[in-house]
Structure 1
Amino acid sequence: MSSVFGRTPIGATRRGVIGFSLAASGMAALAACTSDDGGDEIDVDAQSKGAMEDFAADTQFTATEPFTLSVLWTDWPDLPITDKWQFFKEIEKRTNVTMEVTNIPFSDATEKRSLLISAGDAPTVIPLVYTGEENSFVSSGAILPMSEYVEHMPNFQKYVEEWDLGEMIDNLKQADGKYYMLPGLQEVSVPVFTLVIRKDVFEQVAGGIPQTWDEMRAALVKIKAEYPDSKPLADGFEGASMLNYAAHAFGAQAGWGFGPGMMDDGSGNLQYTAVSEGYKQMVEYFRGLVEDGLLDTDSMTAANDGSGGGSVTEKVAANLVFAASGSAGTAIEFATALNETVGEGNYEILQIAPPGGPAGQVVEPRNFWNGFMLNSEIKDSENFIAILQFLDWLYYNQEARELLRWGVLDETYTKDASGKITLNPEYRLDAYGLNPGGATDLQKDLGWSNAVFADSTESRALKESYNSPTFVEYIDSVLSSRTPRDPNPPAPLDEMELEQSSLLATPLKDTVDTATLQFIMGDRDIAEWDAYVGELEAQGLQQYVDLINTARERFEEENS
């Protein structure tokens, strides 16, 4: 039995991941002056070749002199990149910037990226970076401290302020007080993965849509009685997705959201989540579902690809599963499968807000989505300012974001006076089930809506423009009925602490992953919980907790 309880994988975007975002306030930390805190000065005159003198937020960036920019590009197996994509040609036409890509396969993208950076061979732009992934590259000086240069990025500054994200940007700081990646910004934040249910069955058999995990259990019992052959609840992401969004309702962190394993204990200190009472309650809850045949155990140990004895999608289509982990893209997959078995119009699929629990009607903290790092060598480039302006436009300008998602206005799509976007009939977007009869796919044939750049910064309007009405309902339901947890206090580590924490955190998490699955599946009695905690203590748990809290206290003192 195996399971992966890490963060959301890069490849999750191909299952319809829409985005995360973060809360906050204030702009004071955004424009750190290089000379004030020891950063490298830049010669604006010597390094502004191609830059626009009057570049401002919400304006088109066009380099005054053409230049080529090297980019690290992740190849998905079902989305082969081609230099004939309209994406590359249109970006070059509008900006005078030619992208020169270095390709790495999705299957081992993280490892390949690390090797390139460590060897000094990374391209200038390193996209698809999630917060925290920059940590291991800071001490070597391989990546650029972005906080030193955001004064040249007016779109970034504008939308951090307008969307109230300043405090969370501040929390990206490393031990030296600088931050080294710029994230994708989200105007609104809802969990990307949640439960996708057969609404018709829950209403007809179970009496309604559950709002808590206790209500979910009661509903599953009724559905199991009506469909005896079913195991009505499933994950499909090796347990990592369901435990991620469920954990918050129990006051814990788990699955993709486990991270370093440390979370606020309610007093401002950080505790190891996997030994908390909330984590134990979560494990006991799911163990109870397994005991009563309500949770599909295959889906807790295998991905949604049939390797565990039939995919979750197949089981949904066969009336064997009625609620499963998923995103907006997963909902489309389920609907397509049900059309073939139950028949179109004979079912309803709905994404629901993650159920509440003992900790309340809470969901994950607001979060960022993927962004980028820069190879530090670029700071000496004569095009340095122009590159910053280009990336500011590409990642944060709202017209650019619409371009990356939909293609060329009045060619691939139209937009009415109210802002409603309509894909032209000759084009389709298979990833979101749009215009299935269109001859040309925006993504596969033209390169728009690609996961390297399109799934990053988004306004609420843009997010809603390509999603189904039920996803818009989902956004409304989360925002109106759930409260994001406060983010954990920052505890950035210095170089020596990073090395020490890595040595401690890895074996601890391995033990947590193994024991969590054993407890849930019934391979280990919950009566052995204290023995499990003892195993973690023997592996240096207290030393790890002390290390992180020392870093937290230092950061508080230095930034008070």
Structure 2
Amino acid sequence: MKRELTARPARRFARAATALAVAGTLFAVAGCTAGGSSEEPAGSENDAGSMSGYGVDKTFTASEPLTFSMLWTDWPETPIKDSWEVFDEIAERTNVSLELTNIPFSDALEKRSLLISAGDAPQIIPLVYTGEERQFAATGAVVALSDYEDHMPHFQKYVDEWDLRDMIDNLRQADGKYYMMPGLQEVSVPTFTLVVRTDIIEEVGAEVPETWDDLRTVLEKIKAKYPDSTPLADGFEGQSMLNYAAHAFGTVAGWGFGNGTFFNEEKGEFEYAATNEGYKEMVEYFHGLVEDGLLDTESFTAAVEGSSTVLEKFAAGQVFAASGANGTVQEFNAALEAAGAEGYEVVQIAPPGGPAGQIVEPRNFWNGFMLTAEAEESPNFIALLQFLDWLYYSPEARDLLRWGVEGETYTKGADGSYQLNPEYSLDAFNINPDAPTDIQKDLGYSNDPLSGSTESRALKESYNVPAFVDYIDSVLTNRTPRDPFPPAPLDEAELEQASLLSTPLKDTVDTNTLKFILGERPLSEWDAFVSELEGQNLQGYLDLINGAHERYAAENG
């Protein structure tokens, strides 16, 4: 389904007097720097509609009305509406309308892949996370955006200000170019971690755990006080907890397993994560929790019809710590309130440390975008780059996409604080819940495909509860992000070969990790498990990855 959304002549409310001014004369941009813009003679084949003098802190406005096509993922909780004001605002400020091709959230990755592979995808592909671009880059289906960074001054500014250049370089593929523009985060903290009942921790005479060993001690005390409980749970088939725990054990696992490799700094090469000592220690740790009745095994397995959810167990006082994100805290609070609980306090805590130290995941990007190869042939290609630079990276657009229109839906204090006006709500974050108009559901602001991809720390904190701000502080103060692994980009043929090798290896790891943790396979068979991986041509897979790493290092110094 395609839907074109354009500006309407009438606006629901008067615009604030402080609306940003639009820049004037028009010509093509080239070689923009973080401080402003550079010029090149007009008349390039692909600069039609571009803005003259576009640069940092300027609102992009096309020199003629333009329409760009975009792939839009429909969230089930917030179905898109033709009446959404956000698209009117974008068009009014930029002279750009968006023609949307809609796909459902449930199978968005598959639908996206089919559209791109068939050459039927729109120009703009949002909601792209790092790594997802590799298959499309290898086949030439998407644009090498590193060739056009000079046309994106806001992007350059915040890459430099937030010290992200090394991370950007890590996106480069086998040809030395990168093919997606990521969402930039001034501060990056793990989204999923432990959510705990601190009132119960205090009740049993313990403190909020700083390490996984500390957590075991806390769980033992809770189990002694509440013998019918299994105090720790995941709720995501173990994938979430293993993901954030792995870093503290010096490995990768769960959602973060990726291609299964882990860079060994001492050896200067990649090893297979599931065969390193840290992975074994992690599995032994969680197996011990299961053995002592401290970990809810049901939360580590696929959902069973009729089984209780972690939310239900948390509300019933059967679970007191579980995997979750900021929104999980609100869900647990609501469930406890509905259950009649009193005096409870639910807090998201920094991921515990472990044998590898107080280590958490590396600084990370949020979702960004790709451009399909056909976009590069458009006579409006430079204008498209300028528009996306404004939309994804300018503070003006980021405020708009999150909060709406200043002076209409929200006000901004002299200290930079944001305040949603009382007639508007943002139910997703429990802000003004009784107000009649939800800026997300009714107006399209704070939508998932666009808002949140690039954020300053102040903007991130503006819509989150104070407890989440405390969580950010605790991670930044008391935890160290693991260094990212060095690049090992594969070419098209290698990607296909790596996929054929890595899939059965990962299947073996997933199956046996769960069996070891749940006690369905004895830990005494660990060496046999490693041998099984070796029998699936593990060494050939590692040779492929390490060969790509050595080649990239040789070519890029």
Establish whether residue 480 from structure 1 lines up as the match of residue 477 from structure 2. yes
Kindly provide the CA deviation profile for residues 413-438 of structure 1, in whole angstroms up to 9, marking residues without a partner as x. Answer: 11111111111111111111111111
Question: Given that residues 139 and 492 in structure 2 are in contact (C-alpha distance below 8 angstroms), is that contact kept between their aligned partners in structure 1?
Answer: no
Question: Given that residues 60 and 390 in structure 2 are in contact (C-alpha distance below 8 angstroms), is that contact kept between their aligned partners in structure 1?
Answer: yes
Mapping of 1:416-435 within 5 angstroms? Answer: 416-435=413-432
Establish whether residue 279 from structure 1 lines up as the match of residue 279 from structure 2. yes
Equivalent residue number for residue 81 of structure 1: 80
Aligned to 1:112, what secondary structure does the other structure show?
helix
Equivalent residue number for residue 180 of structure 2: 181
For residue 478 of structure 1, report the CA deviation from its aligned partner: 0.4
Equivalent residue number for residue 53 of structure 2: 54
Equivalent residue number for residue 313 of structure 2: 315
Aligned mate of 1:352, from 349, 362, 365: 349
Equivalent residue number for residue 191 of structure 1: 190
Aligned to 1:197, what secondary structure does the other structure show?
strand
Kindly provide the CA deviation profile for residues 281-315 of structure 1, in whole angstroms up to 9, marking residues without a partner as x. Answer: 00010011111111111111246xx8571111111
What code does the residue aligned with 1:296 have? D
Between the aligned partners of 2:175 and 2:42, the Cα distance in structure 1 is 23
Equivalent residue number for residue 298 of structure 2: 298
User: Structure 1 stretch 198-207 or stretch 408-417: which is displaced more?
Assistant: 198-207
Aligned to 1:367, what secondary structure does the other structure show?
coil
For residue 411 of structure 1, report the CA deviation from its aligned partner: 1.1
Question: Given that residues 155 and 393 in structure 1 are in contact (C-alpha distance below 8 angstroms), is that contact kept between their aligned partners in structure 2?
Answer: yes
Between the aligned partners of 2:226 and 2:439, the Cα distance in structure 1 is 41
Identity %: 66
Between the aligned partners of 1:204 and 1:280, the Cα distance in structure 2 is 33
Aligned mate of 2:441, from 440, 444, 452: 444
Q: Judging changes above 3 Å, is the alpha-carbon distance between structure 1 residues 202 and 308 closer, same or farther for their aligned structure 2 residues?
A: farther
Equivalent residue number for residue 413 of structure 1: 410
Mapping of 1:488-499 within 5 angstroms? Answer: 488-499=485-496
Q: Judging changes above 3 Å, is the alpha-carbon distance between structure 1 residues 55 and 32 closer, same or farther for their aligned structure 2 residues?
A: closer
Kindly provide the CA deviation profile for residues 453-492 of structure 1, in whole angstroms up to 9, marking residues without a partner as x. Answer: 0131110000000001000000000001000011111100
Equivalent residue number for residue 257 of structure 2: 258
Root-mean-square deviation over aligned CA pairs: 1.7
Q: Judging changes above 3 Å, is the alpha-carbon distance between structure 1 residues 320 and 43 closer, same or farther for their aligned structure 2 residues?
A: farther
For residue 43 of structure 1, report the CA deviation from its aligned partner: 9.0
TM-score, reference length from structure 2: 0.91
User: Structure 1 stretch 505-514 or stretch 406-415: which is displaced more?
Assistant: 406-415
Equivalent residue number for residue 93 of structure 1: 92
Equivalent residue number for residue 338 of structure 1: 336
Point out the structure with max Rg over C-alpha. Answer: 2
Equivalent residue number for residue 465 of structure 2: 468
Establish whether residue 117 from structure 1 lines up as the match of residue 78 from structure 2. no
Equivalent residue number for residue 400 of structure 2: 403
Between the aligned partners of 2:440 and 2:312, the Cα distance in structure 1 is 26
For residue 125 of structure 1, report the CA deviation from its aligned partner: 0.3
Equivalent residue number for residue 517 of structure 1: 514
Kindly provide the CA deviation profile for residues 393-421 of structure 1, in whole angstroms up to 9, marking residues without a partner as x. Answer: 11000121111111111111111111111
Kindly provide the CA deviation profile for residues 106-126 of structure 1, in whole angstroms up to 9, marking residues without a partner as x. Answer: 111101100000000010000
What code does the residue aligned with 1:291 have? E
Between the aligned partners of 2:163 and 2:340, the Cα distance in structure 1 is 45
Question: Given that residues 219 and 232 in structure 2 are in contact (C-alpha distance below 8 angstroms), is that contact kept between their aligned partners in structure 1?
Answer: yes
For residue 76 of structure 1, report the CA deviation from its aligned partner: 1.5
Q: Judging changes above 3 Å, is the alpha-carbon distance between structure 1 residues 226 and 328 closer, same or farther for their aligned structure 2 residues?
A: same
Aligned to 2:370, what secondary structure does the other structure show?
strand
For residue 145 of structure 1, report the CA deviation from its aligned partner: 0.2
What code does the residue aligned with 2:323 have? S
Equivalent residue number for residue 456 of structure 1: 453
User: Structure 1 stretch 265-274 or stretch 128-137: which is displaced more?
Assistant: 265-274
For residue 535 of structure 1, report the CA deviation from its aligned partner: 0.9
Between the aligned partners of 1:431 and 1:225, the Cα distance in structure 2 is 37
Q: Judging changes above 3 Å, is the alpha-carbon distance between structure 1 residues 206 and 538 closer, same or farther for their aligned structure 2 residues?
A: farther
Question: Given that residues 60 and 393 in structure 1 are in contact (C-alpha distance below 8 angstroms), is that contact kept between their aligned partners in structure 2?
Answer: yes
Aligned to 1:167, what secondary structure does the other structure show?
helix
Question: Given that residues 131 and 370 in structure 1 are in contact (C-alpha distance below 8 angstroms), is that contact kept between their aligned partners in structure 2?
Answer: yes
Aligned to 1:528, what secondary structure does the other structure show?
helix
Kindly provide the CA deviation profile for residues 211-266 of structure 1, in whole angstroms up to 9, marking residues without a partner as x. Answer: 00000001001111111221111111111110000000100100111000111112
Between the aligned partners of 1:206 and 1:540, the Cα distance in structure 2 is 51
Question: Given that residues 31 and 151 in structure 2 are in contact (C-alpha distance below 8 angstroms), is that contact kept between their aligned partners in structure 1?
Answer: no
Unaligned runs of 5+ in 2: 1-29, 33-40
Aligned to 2:160, what secondary structure does the other structure show?
helix
Between the aligned partners of 1:307 and 1:413, the Cα distance in structure 2 is 44
Equivalent residue number for residue 168 of structure 1: 167
What code does the residue aligned with 1:279 have? Y
Aligned mate of 2:326, from 316, 323, 328: 328
Aligned residues: 520
Question: Given that residues 69 and 98 in structure 2 are in contact (C-alpha distance below 8 angstroms), is that contact kept between their aligned partners in structure 1?
Answer: yes
Aligned mate of 1:505, from 484, 487, 502: 502
For residue 384 of structure 1, report the CA deviation from its aligned partner: 0.7
Between the aligned partners of 2:371 and 2:293, the Cα distance in structure 1 is 50
For residue 343 of structure 1, report the CA deviation from its aligned partner: 4.2
Between the aligned partners of 1:529 and 1:481, the Cα distance in structure 2 is 34
Q: Judging changes above 3 Å, is the alpha-carbon distance between structure 1 residues 171 and 32 closer, same or farther for their aligned structure 2 residues?
A: farther
For residue 44 of structure 1, report the CA deviation from its aligned partner: 6.0
Equivalent residue number for residue 547 of structure 2: 550
Between the aligned partners of 2:181 and 2:509, the Cα distance in structure 1 is 31
For residue 45 of structure 1, report the CA deviation from its aligned partner: 2.2
User: Structure 1 stretch 442-451 or stretch 545-554: which is displaced more?
Assistant: 442-451
Between the aligned partners of 1:50 and 1:125, the Cα distance in structure 2 is 17
Equivalent residue number for residue 538 of structure 2: 541
Question: Given that residues 274 and 512 in structure 1 are in contact (C-alpha distance below 8 angstroms), is that contact kept between their aligned partners in structure 2?
Answer: yes
Unaligned runs of 5+ in 1: 1-30, 34-41
For residue 32 of structure 1, report the CA deviation from its aligned partner: 9.9
For residue 206 of structure 1, report the CA deviation from its aligned partner: 4.2
Q: Judging changes above 3 Å, is the alpha-carbon distance between structure 1 residues 48 and 32 closer, same or farther for their aligned structure 2 residues?
A: closer
Question: Given that residues 32 and 148 in structure 1 are in contact (C-alpha distance below 8 angstroms), is that contact kept between their aligned partners in structure 2?
Answer: no
Aligned mate of 2:369, from 368, 372, 383: 372
Between the aligned partners of 1:487 and 1:78, the Cα distance in structure 2 is 34
Kindly provide the CA deviation profile for residues 157-190 of structure 1, in whole angstroms up to 9, marking residues without a partner as x. Answer: 0000000000110110000010000100000111
TM-score, reference length from structure 1: 0.91
User: Structure 1 stretch 333-342 or stretch 256-265: which is displaced more?
Assistant: 333-342
Aligned to 1:149, what secondary structure does the other structure show?
helix
Between the aligned partners of 2:479 and 2:160, the Cα distance in structure 1 is 24
Between the aligned partners of 1:176 and 1:342, the Cα distance in structure 2 is 60
What code does the residue aligned with 1:353 have? A
